[in-house]
Amino acid sequence: MKDWLAKFQAVKTWVLVLACCGAAMLYLALSPSAAAPAMTEEESRISQTLCRIAGAGETRVSIYYAQEASAFGSGAKTPVGAVIVARGAGDILVRLNLAQAAQTLLGLGPGQVEVFPMEEDK
């Protein structure tokens, strides 16, 4: 009987641990921060610049990099593309200004920057 109670306690403890882990994973998956990952320092800096463009409003920037190989180990990261989401990007002139500014700031070509309107809060 003691063996059975000891096994039951061990199983009960594992079930409780697994339930807590599952609840934590569910919380993290459904939290607002999971939907909008934090921008890097460079993305934040560029976003702060872009939001000052007339009509742009709130902006979010995602920069995509290519890793360059180096003979000394780690290589430099080179931007190869960017996506900008802005409140005012529904206006074509604002969209063009945002794209041009990002191209200049990142040294990218016209086909490497995409600008989209931000979804309105509900």
23 and 46 fall within a common domain: no
What is the structure's pLDDT at 39? 86
Within this chain, do residues 8 and 63 fall inside the same structural domain, yes or no?
no
Distance of CA 87 to the CA centre of its chain: 17
What does the pLDDT read at residue 5?
57
Give the helix/strand (H/E) hosting 86: strand 77-86
Looking at the structure, tell me whether residues 51 and 88 fall in a common domain: yes
pLDDT at 105: 95
Pick from 33, 45, 23: nearest CA to 105: 45
* Structural domain for 9, as ranges: 2-33
Note whether 80 and 72 are within 8 A (CB).
no
CATH number at residue 75: 3.30.300
Measured between alpha carbons, how far is residue 21 from residues 14, 31, 33 in Å? 11, 15, 19
**pLDDT at position 92:** 96
> Do residues 43 and 27 share a domain?
no
Instruction: Say what the pTM is.
Output: 0.65
Per-residue pLDDT tens, the chain, 122 aa: give them. Answer: 666 556 656 656 655 545 544 455 555 555 444 455 688 899 999 999 999 999 999 999 999 998 776 666 666 788 999 999 999 999 999 999 999 999 999 999 989 999 999 987 65
